Structure 1
């Protein structure tokens, strides 16, 4: 329900002028490592990623007057993130910070000490910590799920929490490089929008209307187009997302998308927005220029016939793609399509027990259990199956995009048969991934987010704590590093392992970067002399480990 409410607000987000002028969150010229709305592996990018300057330290500044409404520190995600509410109804977000500056730092430290946890998610009372326009709030960093130093910056509607394109507020980089249309695919489609044929034309098209335009014969009654395109800016080699995409067929508009706003909830729909098969096989994220039934992404502003193109044996259809960046630089792709006389039939579902009807909720039973599948869980109607043997449960008869969690419940177990060390996990991966589980009305239930193989494993191994940069003679050290790893990955409702760090018996909040499994223990604040270090870790199954050493500062 929240997602639909968020979508309804899109039409109201940009009415009227902004109540105040925003400044840049950095002092240097902005170049981007990531654009708003671009397609990431599991979500739409909800902000812009600003690259660092040539200086060692880049201070981050509040873009407008307001007050601190939220601050969060975590081992993954945004790492350190600051949220500032502004009087005009917007919230600015600053993420992956390496350092928080006062008074924010003091507020966070007190909460971390009280909770004995580095990870906190705090919501100060409105106007209790006021922030002035241009006030330094932190330093650009690489905290959380980040592969390099940068600032992830967002502007959200405060009430709906829907992110808006910061370029609409004047916070942008100059761009005179037109986007690149890198790869195109023509999909021959069945009535339920499954592929009956693919013609991967790549970049074999004309970039000008006056050039030699190729013709492709497609063995299907209708076609759909998918495209991988990107934008680059002067001073940056990053392949960023484009702003607008249009598709014309015989000079009539069939598809139009524009990245002005996108909610976080819409990220769940990503695999209905892209060609999921190509994404899973190659990693290339081709946007579908036709709408799968489950694709409710608001960036799509117009579709004719859901973007599908009827094909005729004796008449060519002219296709034109127009891709634009925010500054109006444009690229084009042209080709013709005609229906091939050698037609392909619908893709059979012989290997699947059931055909899921995308618009209906369905229940699939198997020995000792049941799957509960909501409507619009898959992008379109498709084959599906579930089976169980002595070693586990197989969900799906082929790799299929799962947009919503599927509830799996087992009714042939009782609490005495499932010990604390037994973990329900996805077991067809190199490292098993715990899904988390719960008892409901006497049934053992969990949430499934992907097709594959699932089953019980025993987890009796504690997280490992391995010294990285550590020495008992630490007079010249400013911090220690340790590698913290668990033998299980975590997804869904499963909780990751907890850790704590103590020096001389006193808890100290220490950052961990989940992406590289590294714990950072600062010691520059300690007085000279001997000190006792203790690190503890406990996983979801209750397995505990510790590291204890004496060192001299």
Structure 2
């Protein structure tokens, strides 16, 4: 009888596990170890794992919090606080919990920590004399139990509105894993939506902005789609495909990303991408995963179903010739897209391709350039500029092009240098040296490189050149930054009585090189100043440590080029 009960329980657990993971994955994950980080019912997502974002894949699930801050955030399992971060941007206030089952959970954009963690954070900030913090407590300092309140939801850092950013990572490798694979229940019986399909005439050449493509409108719904008024596509030679698709779940859902995309040719899978896990250092390769030139020109995110040779993402499987398909046999072929969301809901797009030697579309001739292989270290030099592309920078072989332009008007101390074009994505930054005009000599310490839009790339002077590491192609020249940041007091002034006022507030902005530091001192002692980059807000919250009476205040802010702004007054408390 006991054995029968155990067998029944085992079968029930297996059934639950199978139903909870009806999606493609390379590994099995624990389905009952974790509870939800919030008690908001039903849970709703503003962003899904692997969702397409500018220059990165979304690394977690964004739980909606009813446009409010202050909901309790719970430890999803026993463990300990292994990392605490306080950032001006990024995740803002964030907690990392390490759990004994080999996973780490991450909670971002918090409004505040629980009292014990907050005390530890504030103590460290005063020890380091820094608002920003990235610390790794010992496993004995801040233990937690499953269900403990560790923090409260907020909108700190680069958040676009109140929500909880939640992640699960492999503790050993730090790879980020889709939380839905761990049994987190998001109500969802809605299959993905397929909007469009594209055909790319690859013609045995590297993919770039010159690759011919054809757009096909898609019609249908409820999981079944077809090409609009097209029965058969006639193609010849080497071809790739791409698709635009998004997903929603039940209730208050945003427009989220899909989990997996499979492409079948005559019943055989030739391409699979699955948002199971990825590494942070490879997240920028989203620009190789999508049709990057189209995204730059139109903001449409077409997910390619073929893989560039320099793409380091580990999200692909079942690849046949990296998803590049050869149509040269004169036969009719059946193709099928199967697109799945994180709950296992599927949408299917089926279409036919007739191999037809008359359906050739040639790739336009490229302008003369220098051939650079994607797998090599590549270097370009002339008398005015030097460029080095480290190995791993390029996703495809590159027909590199360069052009010099006259010195721009205004704040410029060199010619302008066009380094290839903005339609080609890069995985790593490249090294750029630009020769400076003689007029820069007295501003060497203030020099930096900017792009044609005025965006600072950083930089330092070295033997007649200014060098920096841009992360994108474009047009660049040397400029200088001699202007200190601006600091505008909002509720404090010389001689003001601040009794009964909870905090002193400022607006803080920089014009070019970016903020480096901000520090406040009352009566010569360092005080904690907090900063929110998205609102340019700087403030100090009075915590009772400043006694009644007259006090001196000094606030010193600096930018990346050593320009300082000092604000000094007396005030009363």
TM interval, short-chain normalised: 0.7 to 0.9
Asked if 1:393 is matched to 2:406, the reply is no
For 2:458, which of 427, 435, 444 is the aligned residue?
435
Asked if 1:454 is matched to 2:482, the reply is no
For 2:563, which of 526, 543, 553 is the aligned residue?
543
Asked if 1:347 is matched to 2:367, the reply is no
Residue 117 of structure 1 aligns with which residue?
Answer: 130
Which structure has the bigger radius of gyration?
A: 2
* Secondary structure of the corresponding residue to residue 266 of structure 1: helix
For 2:168, which of 155, 158, 177 is the aligned residue?
155
For 2:40, which of 28, 46, 68 is the aligned residue?
28
5 Å matches for 1:37-52?
A: 37-52=50-65
Residue 493 of structure 1 aligns with which residue?
Answer: none
State how far apart, in whole Å, the 1-side matches of 2:260 and 2:387 are: 39
Asked if 1:268 is matched to 2:284, the reply is yes
Superposed displacement of residue 163, structure 1: 1.2
Superposed displacement of residue 497, structure 1: 2.2
Superposed displacement of residue 290, structure 1: 0.6
For 1:187, which of 200, 208, 215 is the aligned residue?
200
Superposed displacement of residue 12, structure 1: 12
Residue 203 of structure 1 aligns with which residue?
Answer: 218
Asked if 1:482 is matched to 2:495, the reply is no
Cα shift readout 1:9-42 (whole Å, capped 9, x = no counterpart): xx99945757x72111111122111111122111
State how far apart, in whole Å, the 2-side matches of 1:299 and 1:515 are: 32
For 2:448, which of 419, 424, 428 is the aligned residue?
424
Residues 341 and 217 from structure 1, CA distance in 2 versus in 1: closer, same or farther, beyond 3 angstroms? farther
Residue 356 of structure 1 aligns with which residue?
Answer: 372
Residues 131 and 203 from structure 1, CA distance in 2 versus in 1: closer, same or farther, beyond 3 angstroms? same
Superposed displacement of residue 311, structure 1: 3.0
* Structure 2: runs of 5 or more not aligned: 1-23, 408-414
Asked if 1:93 is matched to 2:116, the reply is no
Instruction: Verify the 8 A CA contact 1:432 1:488 in the aligned structure 2.
Output: yes
Asked if 1:522 is matched to 2:531, the reply is no
Q: How many residues align?
A: 534
Instruction: Verify the 8 A CA contact 1:143 1:513 in the aligned structure 2.
Output: yes
5 Å matches for 1:11-90?
A: 14=27, 17=30, 21-29=33-41, 30-53=43-66, 57-90=70-103
For 2:251, which of 235, 240, 244 is the aligned residue?
235
TM-score (norm 1): 0.87
Root mean square deviation, CA, Å? 3.1
Residues 468 and 419 from structure 1, CA distance in 2 versus in 1: closer, same or farther, beyond 3 angstroms? same
* Structure 1: runs of 5 or more not aligned: 1-10, 491-495
For 1:463, which of 485, 492, 497 is the aligned residue?
485
Cα shift readout 1:151-187 (whole Å, capped 9, x = no counterpart): 1111111111111111122223121111111232221
For 1:249, which of 265, 272, 275 is the aligned residue?
265
Residue 510 of structure 1 aligns with which residue?
Answer: 529
Residue 165 of structure 1 aligns with which residue?
Answer: 178
Cα shift readout 1:265-305 (whole Å, capped 9, x = no counterpart): 11132211111011111222221111111123111122122
Superposed displacement of residue 220, structure 1: 5.3
TM-score (norm 2): 0.85
Instruction: Verify the 8 A CA contact 1:66 1:84 in the aligned structure 2.
Output: yes
Residues 528 and 253 from structure 1, CA distance in 2 versus in 1: closer, same or farther, beyond 3 angstroms? same
Asked if 1:308 is matched to 2:324, the reply is yes
